[in-house]
Structure 1
């Protein structure tokens, strides 16, 4: 229901108000002067002010924030989703989905969410609704936030605009940046040995990120050591 409401381009306040009404079996009978509403629940009727409704919806503030743990719609039609936290998911799939997600953040093209759905639900024939696509966005956003809290050395804030990125140069477009970032991660895990690439891509996502986090920590420690007088 919630994803469906967001898919209708409603504001967070509108979504929370509608959820409050729906989940508490409330019905608006009439709009009254002075920003008041006549509300019915069962056989009871009560007049509420807008301020009272706003106070009541504050308990639903979590609806417009990311979940502390990744959550997802478990299936679309007959197609089941990958594990919400990507545990035991091949690193190759994570890289692909992450690139699509980053691309979506920069372009807002729904086609990228559809491509993500095909990977996340394991089928080119999956037919997500707009609400499903909203759910996929929140799944990936919460997953990235979760990983950032676990792998703090690897997931650091992006450089400010105009600064060099992790690869040491500015990037002309998002797709070049994503390609180079992916290649850099693979090189870090293979140590430059191309014969290891296939094995790395099949590695469990969590294992790969653990290794990248450790390498990022080592690199930072070396950088600090070289800076010392």
Structure 2
């Protein structure tokens, strides 16, 4: 049996950086439940017309000021809402293009791109969407959540002898590894494997924990980097 642990982060690891906390979380599910989980999530996404959209909670729960400028926005259908919001945003970008403040234009454009998939939903609907997903995942008895939340205000790198992201990843991996041992012992399954999936992770962070990777004939095994054939990182080049 294989267990997937999908890892993602919130906040920035730099001290002080632009966030007070750095949070690294991992959700573990057995591979046999993958399709079941996917169907449940897809059903909720379909309900809110988000079938082909990624879920970025931070962007979803923000207030979109354009919606407050549209009369009877709540009474419109999804297509009308998208059109009206898009019209206001295009006008705003055209105005900012003429402004000498190019950074404001770039930031506004980025915000629009990040929230484009969700503009057809009111704030209440977007919050309801996230709550339904949370309730769904909370009902998965086979799933386990691991997390490390670091308050950078009280983080002392000299005492910790690690960077913020290094400590968070090490703690999360250790807990997932311990969980695998517990499951293996309770189920008497000696062929139990764990797979870590870290979205957009930098190789430097992996370098710091590579001494825990499995090896065969001196080469790292069990690690795949999903990228194109031109990648020359240690996992692609040496393996």
TM-score, length basis structure 2: 0.23
TM-score, length basis structure 1: 0.23
Structure with the largest fraction of strand: 2
Question: Quick one: higher RCO (CA 8 Å, sep 6+), 1 or 2?
Answer: 2
